[in-house]
Structure 1
Amino acid sequence: MFSLKKIYHHIVWVFQGVQVFALVGKSGSGKSFRAQLVADKYGIDFIIDDGLLIRGEKIVAGTSAKKEKGVLTAIKTALFANKDHADEVRKTLEREKFKRILIIGTSIPMVKKIASTLNLPQPTHIIKIQDIATLDEIEKARRSRDEEGKHIIPVPAIEIKKNYPHIFFESIKVLLKRKFSISKKNKEFEKTVVRPDYSRKGKVAISQEALTQMVLHCVNEFDSSIKVSKIIIKNESDKYIFNVFLDIPYGTQISGDVHRLQRYIVENIERFTGIIIDEVNLTVSKISFMKKIFKKNSSGTT
């Protein structure tokens, strides 16, 4: 039913001519700083950035990930992992009239996941931060993030002071100079610098050992008769790839049980950690001829 609803909304958006743009770059590379400039250039109506739905200079829906106390909860907020949060933004989008929307994220899988969660079409226009900013500008932005804990929200200070006064730091203005244009005047954008609580407390990382333990727990919870012989985890550009080698009992339906296990691992690890999983590759390395004992997981799947 849920997938049919997604298909319905996708058809509606496509029929209405809605286009989804994505601005992608590593954390602290200056994406939010340039968001309004990108929106102005491409005639984009809405921006989705760190859990917020922004139209022009107004926050119209959502919750800022930058108000969160911890890094992991901030990631979940940015991904709209909370149902009420996602529902609020979805309903607002359904009420509003628009043609173009920009999703900001640290990777292509992340913006695709946000689009899917909000029932939007997948992005067809991918803009990389290095295409619109120089290496020096990106490095300067990263130093500001790493050394001073500063983040940008692409709305005026009054919007942040009204909604999130405790993280407000300062207001800055950026002038967009329109080259070779007589009819259009230069345009000024106001942005707000904030310092989230989690930026003042150092960095939080999830070790491969911790992720390995989570995979083992997921497999055991799904079906205790399936054993894991080896796990290889790769992290490339904020995307995680899991290669899991399994020892399964004879009689396990590879086309059914193993595929459900794959989904179970992805859904649980993404939900509890907020990381973006690009691939979970399950390899059956051994089939054991022993009595199969099923264990029901929390979703009722066997």
Structure 2
Amino acid sequence: MVAHDHDVDVIVDDGLLIQGSRILAGRSAKREPTRLAAVRRAVFSDPEHREQVKAALAAARPRRVLVLGTSREMVLRIVRALELPEPSRWISIYDVATPDEIRQARRVRRQQGKHVIPAPTFEVKKSFSGYLVDPLRLFYRSQHARGGLLVEKSAVRPTFSSMGRFFIAEHVVAAIATRAVSEVEGIAGVLRVRVNSDPDGVDLVVEVVVRRGAPLHGILRHAQLEAIHMVEHMTALNVRRVDMVARRVDLGHETGEAAPDGGGAFD
């Protein structure tokens, strides 16, 4: 809302460079394991991180940049690290939020460990695989927008939250994908699910048996979408890719046989 009212092109917030609904560059401080590491990430202490965001800023060529920080000193550290001009205007949190709103935000952060990122959930999940990300949609009345403006943000519980961490084993992800794919009409069985995971998300390879006469492309596409939806819904992981491989064709009860390995693939 502040960015819209002041015609801001990009936002620098907690280690991220955000433009509109896209995260252009950076790594969020909310992914760091400790508060100290989070602060260092937010002020761009890491040279590689700093240079990545500087390069993205140079490519974006913004006229106005909104730098968010918890103090003037923090904002100045960020500005100098990214070699931005000195701030031309300072905006206090008390200028844009009421005391009740500030107290409520602090209470949510303290009790639920949640922080807000000014980007929509579909974009944030790319950088927060395995984190609980809740969408926030706010209708904002602005003097610059007729009829109001729909603002999308995301609430994230950071790694360093005192509420603890959770882990999801790869065999659990495989089991969820197996269940989702098995329920698709035209799939006779799931032979194997391979899971490759890293901090940015998971890739799956699902090998299946399809029923004779089923439209192969449509069945595999449906199974792929079901696997993506179920894994993301139940684990909060960012599913980057699901490759569906039809290894066999179920010939039915008449022969009791199946076609040999081979089949088709869909990704």
TM-score, normalising length: structure 1:
0.52
1:144 and 2:108 correspond: yes
1:31-76 CA-to-partner distances (Å, cap 9, x unmatched) read xxxxxx0000010000000000000010000100011111111110
1:178 is displaced (CA, Å) by 3.0
1:213-254 CA-to-partner distances (Å, cap 9, x unmatched) read xxxxxxxxxxxxxxxxxxxxxxxxxxxxxxxxxxxxxxxxxx
What is residue 142 of structure 2 aligned with on the other side?
A: 178
Root mean square deviation of aligned Cα: 1.5
What is residue 75 of structure 1 aligned with on the other side?
A: 39
1:99 is displaced (CA, Å) by 0.6
What is residue 189 of structure 1 aligned with on the other side?
A: 151
- State the AA in 2 paired with 1:187: L
- State the AA in 2 paired with 1:198: F
What is residue 186 of structure 2 aligned with on the other side?
A: none
What CA distance in whole angstroms lies between the structure 2 residues aligned with 1:68 and 1:201?
15
- State the AA in 1 paired with 2:135: S
1:165 and 2:165 correspond: no
- State the AA in 2 paired with 1:51: G
What is residue 132 of structure 1 aligned with on the other side?
A: 96
What is residue 256 of structure 1 aligned with on the other side?
A: none
Larger helix share, 1 or 2: 1
Q: 1:68-147 alignment to 2 at 5 Å?
A: 68-147=32-111
What CA distance in whole angstroms lies between the structure 2 residues aligned with 1:131 and 1:160?
27
What CA distance in whole angstroms lies between the structure 1 residues aligned with 2:9 and 2:163?
35
SS in 2 for 1:198: coil
1:201 is displaced (CA, Å) by 4.7
1:180-203 CA-to-partner distances (Å, cap 9, x unmatched) read x7x72311011111111211358x
What CA distance in whole angstroms lies between the structure 2 residues aligned with 1:191 and 1:64?
15
What CA distance in whole angstroms lies between the structure 2 residues aligned with 1:100 and 1:136?
30
For structure 1, the residue ranges without an aligned partner over 5 or more in a row are 1-36, 203-302
SS in 1 for 2:33: coil
SS in 1 for 2:61: coil
* Structure number with larger C-alpha Rg: 2
SS in 2 for 1:39: helix
1:127-183 CA-to-partner distances (Å, cap 9, x unmatched) read 00011111111000000011110111110100122221222331110111135x7x7
Partners of 1:155 and 1:191 within 8 A in 2:
yes
Moved more, 167-176 or 37-46: 167-176
TM-score, normalising length: structure 2:
0.59
Partners of 2:117 and 2:155 within 8 A in 1:
yes
1:92 is displaced (CA, Å) by 1.2
What CA distance in whole angstroms lies between the structure 2 residues aligned with 1:115 and 1:133?
24
Instruction: Mark the CA change 1:151 to 1:170 in structure 2 (over 3 Å): closer, same or farther.
Output: same
